[in-house]
Amino acid sequence: MEFNKTKKENNNEKAFRLTLWVLSILSVIFALVNIPKQGNISEIRQETRNTAKQIKVARQQAQNNSPLFAANNFNLTDQEKTATDRLSQGLQTTFGGLKTENDFKTQKSKIQSLMGKKFANFFVVYNPETSYLNNNEVHVYFNNVKDIHHAKVFAYTQYEVKKGTGSEPLSIAFNFDYDLTTQKVNSYKLVTFSTSDVLKNEGSNQ
């Protein structure tokens, strides 16, 4: 019985050692197979260098476009004020300042210079059924400016149009992508348009 037990233990030890050898050999083979070739190493190094260059360029562009970059000599407060004045003038003229067909013709180029060609072509379209009475208010808000070429601006205006023998208050709001260095609208997006019914529920200044 003792002999059989010892023999069994020796067999187990041999099997265990054999398993370790097999695993070791497989590990070596796996490692050799997965060693990258010299060409692959060169490609990886080149990709790493290219990525590092792209990161450096992106970081430099972000720095150059930042209003905090000293080399820009950029007065953010003054440029935001100029942009606010231009957007306010453009919205006041477009929504409330165009009272006659002649106004639509003569003021379009002015609105285009303030708000951009796409904006003017879409909103400065004469409609005899709509008669603007006046523009009551305009509000312009800048988000925290991180890129002076793509400042994010929210603008809201409330105005009146003739309705029957009275008037109807309307409001419209936009998000603008604005270049503070050229004082130009890059793009705009209509956010909301509210009729008198909506304004009564939201609270109107009329």
Return d(Cα 28, Cα 103) in angstroms, integer.
84
**Closest by alpha carbon to 172, among 129, 136, 131, 127?**
136
In a domain, 17, yes or no: no
**Closest by alpha carbon to 176, among 150, 193, 145, 152?**
152
Share of the chain above pLDDT 70, in %: 61
Conformation bin of residue 124: beta by default, left when phi > 0, alpha when psi is -120 to 50: beta
Residue 156 and residue 56 share a domain? no
Residue 176 and residue 133 share a domain? yes
Residue 81 and residue 131 share a domain? yes
Residue 48 and residue 146 share a domain? no
**Closest by alpha carbon to 92, among 188, 157, 178?**
157
Give 114's Cβ-side CA count (13 Å radius): 20
Model pLDDT for residues 154-186, shown as the tens digit of each residue:
999 999 998 888 889 999 999 999 999 999 999
Per-residue pLDDT, 4: 44
In a domain, 30, yes or no: no
In a domain, 15, yes or no: no
Model pLDDT for residues 87-138, shown as the tens digit of each residue:
999 999 999 999 999 999 999 999 999 999 999 999 999 988 788 999 999 9
Model pLDDT for residues 33-50, shown as the tens digit of each residue:
665 655 566 776 667 666
In a domain, 22, yes or no: no
Residue 178 and residue 88 share a domain? yes
pTM: 0.64
In a domain, 121, yes or no: yes
Residue 69 and residue 84 share a domain? no
Domain of 62? 42-73
